[in-house]
A and B are shown apart, each in its own frame.
Chain A
Amino acid sequence: EPEVTQTPSHQVTQMGQEVILRCVPISNHLYFYWYRQILGQKVEFLVSFYNNEISEKSEIFDDQFSVERPDGSNFTLKIRSTKLEDSAMYFCASSEGLGAAETQYFGPGTRLLVL
């Protein structure tokens, strides 16, 4: 069964450094998402991406965040200058479409620790 994959599984970085989290969505999916889950808290939506542009973003997704689909398979989340409060599990998800066809399939997550 096709799966969403994410690399790395764990990332440790220093405050102020840039990090890039990578995701490979399911191959025939057209919509891509990033969510984050701070330890002990609920999963929060960051951004959705379709047709090479952001389709929706939350208040969390400020100027320090960016997303990109650099090729036909990868979908990345970049955090330009990490802060301590960016420490969280970051989940990538993808869906085939919207409406009745839409189920968002989640990857296993990348645990980001900012020191």
Chain B
Amino acid sequence: DAKTTQPTSMDCAEGRAANLPCNHSTISGNEYVYWYRQIHSQGPQYIIHGLKNNETNEMASLIITEDRKSSTLILPHATLRDTAVYYCIVRLYSGGGADGLTFGKGTHLIIQP
């Protein structure tokens, strides 16, 4: 799986959009970008994933650059409950089952009141 680079920490004001970058310059053509987050003392939570196109769901938006070497997770209206460690993971999807996720250090996002 391709490696990812994320900032160690970020701050964002409550109510503003939080934009979390991820660099994955060695991504291959059939690798997906996944985002998970982990709130303190809980298990990771799936947020969103994408291959080439931008994606949006009820939690967030995922913007993937045209060359697919980087992406940005956008939380449109951050709340205090969004304070967590956010992991960007690039992996090959095997539809028949689950392969292991490779978690990096992630970005510690702190939402300020």
Partners in one complex: no
Interface set of B (CB-CB < 8 Å, partner A): none
Interface set of A (CB-CB < 8 Å, partner B): none
